Amino acid sequence: MAEAIVLLSGGLDSSTVLALAKERGFDVVALTFDYGQKHKRELNSSRKMARHFKAKEHIIVPLSLGELLRSSLTRGSMSIPENRTEEEISSGVPSTYVPSRNIIFLSIAASIAESRGAEAIFIATNSVDFSGYPDCTAEFLSAFQMTLDIGTKAGREGRGIRVEAPILTKSKADIVREAIRLKVPMEDTWSCYKGGVKACGKCDSCLLRLRGFSEAGIRDPLEYEGRK
Q: pLDDT of 198-219, one tens digit each? A: 999 999 999 999 999 999 999 9
**Chain mean pLDDT for the chain:** 93
Question: Which pTM does this prediction carry?
Answer: 0.94
Total Cβ atoms within 10 A of residue 80: 19
218-227 pLDDT, tens digit per residue, is 999 999 998 8
pLDDT band at 105 (very low <50, low <70, confident <90, very high): very high
Whether residue 129 has pLDDT greater than 80: no
Q: Which domains does the chain have, with CATH numbers?
A: 3-216 (3.40.50.620)
Which residues, in sequence order, are CB contacts of 77 under 8 Å at separation 6+?
Answer: none
Q: pLDDT tens digit string along 56-95?
A: 999 999 998 877 888 998 888 899 999 998 888 877 888 9
138-151 helix and 101-116 helix, angle to the nearest 10 degrees: 40
The whole-angstrom separation of Cα 112 and Cα 141 is: 18
- Please check whether residue 11 is in contact with residue 189, taking contact to mean a CB–CB distance below 8 angstroms: yes
Number of H helices, E strands in the chain: 8, 5
